[in-house]
A and B are shown apart, each in its own frame.
Chain A
């Protein structure tokens, strides 16, 4: 649906085939583990079997004595001057120094003539540990008697107490006077919520290959969401000049935030330097679960107050986010987004970042927001129940809109939250009866930032009037198409006349990560700029041919025209005239699209049925609603919405890092850590709302992330309505449902 008068686009809004599609349906596309460099050694990681332990001694002599073993590296190889006390925090997560802080943390790596030998050699590395008590869980980590992970860590932020602690930072978002406002409210609801650590669950495990040439030129092939950030990380970790590092991004088999940080890249680089040979390393699935960065588990206490006519007046929340073993910042955005979907005058949200003996957490699609929404959107549901109001109408009454104070304190520009809510209210799904016993319907809203950041593209005009588009953002879900479409739109040419290519870090200007819902938005802006530059350059070259000045030539609707209308020519025609005259026509677009990119809202309507005997929750129907600003390629917008929804289903119903008493993740396989399958979900209906983003030339909003924000809460609300018991803890596994509803359902 289009909610505002939409500009007429020729290419944007259509559904062309993606340029990389053929390679991906025929098995030709090369992903991280598909890079086979002749003569490459194979490497494997030795990982800590303990959740928290001092590393007393590493003895690799038995491994090195094995036939076919070429080199072993440890943190000593990463530490400046080989001095482990100088090993910085990011390096400790590549190879552990004095301490192992979580089970699965990499401690040493072996390179050998093949993978089999490397696996055998890993077993022969002898490591002596002194096992320490460990702590799991955000509130547990905050206790004053909890085992301390980092002796030197001191809390940052208001209310910090001096002394050793696991609390990294206390963040706060405060507006108005919550205490007074709660006292004035007619109705106050509160509860405590918790969510578990979950993994992004990309299907392609990390894999990297490196060659370190004798002149110090380091080439790295890797599956990454950001080849430039990977280059910068490697430069810092290896203390090696950026100019000597080339990162070649392979196709990427999913990321969702989990393939921003480097893990294997610096290690294969070190091993290649040591051996003088190419070195390749691939994670297996348990490595991915135990040794990469999942998203934090949380504990959230929240309170919401409203007047009897349904105006939400005050929000208080106390949110603890796990950071895993090293300091992170999940609670910063957590505190910001807690109230972001609503116009609430009095807000106080306190966020704690807490280190615990689990893998260092990383971003996962709208990081921090789904857990915050799980709490707040359930309290809103509770308010609606108590006020006997329709939960969507209650949200609409309080919805953030243009001018409302946003998550960062400044007012929103034009946003589409109200439009999403109206679309939900008007949807066939919401108006249809639920039917049947043990069923419930839940709704929830979600907000996530978009960011812009830095992007660079090169565009060159070909003699046949087609254009090549060179870009630096790895294509994780169709961005070659969405960028080519924006260039075609800018130039007024068919989509098929744009040939996009993703290149390495030597071949295009700096481009930030493919993350933060930014590529179609931010790199799209760079593409638009490059398109404008190409038109300008073509106009300049055309002027003498038309015996006029560039100022007299305009470009509109895919054609150059003199202002007097005497001369005109379509893009392709002019391109052919200019071909062969003068030097090649190559332009670039390079910009910083900033941090504020407009913001995105998503909504979910979900119907569930709860089996009273087994506790199993079945998703009967799911409608995802989202403001895309302008949907560049609607099929891929729908795909983002559907993918986010189903990841949310997994998070809500099944997924969790399940720890045993020793601090071991007991379910580090796809058998036991159960992602949703095709059998677990119905078709996911989508409603694309289009409220153009004033910050983008085509009105685009990033669409990758908001869709995962509402489902946790929407499903919990649905299960609550089905069972009559408020669901405050994830996952809502059959066991959990039976425990909470026994005797009630």
Chain B
């Protein structure tokens, strides 16, 4: 089981929840799970089978774009909007 933390901008797509639990064993399985439960959210995460360019996903403290790496049990997965700067 992992905990997925969502930013305010995406929370309405997950029924208003700031975090949701999922039993996805990989990021791909997790996103599939989210997509089943919250179709609008799933659409915001993937594009042509990859993590969208304007979305950032981190497992624990590490950003990742690898969909098939195993997720450790109890991990916190953070989904965030992209940011840049001046």
Contacts and interface: CB of A to CB of B under 8 A. Distances in A.
Contacts of B83: 332-333, 336, 449, 451, 516, 595
A363 B76 contact: no
Interface centre among A156, A256, A412, A594 (most CB of B within 10 A): A594
A365 interface: yes
A267 interface: no
The dominant DSSP class at the B interface is loop
Interface in B33-64: 56, 58, 60-61, 63
A210 interface: no
A453 B81 contact: no
A357 interface: no
A515 B9 contact: no
B86 A705 contact: yes
Interface centre among B12, B16, B82, B83 (most CB of A within 10 A): B83
B76 A410 contact: yes
Contact of A408 (B8, B12, B80, B85): B80
Nearest to A708: B86
Given A410-B76, A411-B61, A158 B11 contact: yes
A120 B83 CA distance: 42
A173 B80 CA distance: 12
Contacts, number: 96
Contact of A257 (B61, B80, B85): B85
Interface string A411-429: 1110000000000000000
Contacts of A171: 7-9
A157 interface: yes
Interface in A588-603: 592, 594-596
A169 B9 contact: yes
Interface in A217-248: none
A569 interface: no
A451 B85 contact: yes
Contacts of B85: 257, 363, 365-367, 448-451, 515-518, 704-705
Interface string A510-537: 0011011110000000000000000000
Contacts of A409: 5, 76, 78, 80
B47 to A, nearest CB: 14
B86 A256 contact: yes
A170 interface: yes
Interface string A567-600: 0000000000000000000000000101110000
Contacts of A200: 86
B86 A157 contact: no
Interface string B22-39: 000000000000000000
A336 B76 CA distance: 18
A364 interface: yes
Contacts of B18: 174
A408 B86 contact: no
A172 interface: yes
A256 B85 CA distance: 9
A602 to B, nearest CB: 13
A446 to B, nearest CB: 13
Interface string B58-80: 10110101000000000010101
B39 to A, nearest CB: 18
A211 B78 CA distance: 45
B84 A363 contact: yes
A367 B60 CA distance: 26
Contacts of A596: 56, 58, 63
Contacts of A173: 8
A516 B9 contact: no
Given A365-B86, A705-B86, A595 B80 contact: yes
Contacts of B5: 409
Contacts of B65: 592, 594
Contacts of A413: 61
Contact of A363 (B12, B80, B86): B86
A156 B12 contact: yes
8 contacts: A158-B12, A171-B8, A171-B9, A173-B8, A409-B5, A412-B61, A513-B84, A592-B65
Interface of B: 5, 7-9, 11-12, 16, 18, 56, 58, 60-61, 63, 65, 76, 78, 80-86
Counting from the closest, the 5 A-B pairs by CB-CB distance are A257-B86, A516-B85, A363-B86, A516-B84, A595-B56
Given A170-B8, A408-B56, 6 more contacts: A156-B12, A172-B8, A335-B8, A516-B85, A595-B63, A595-B82
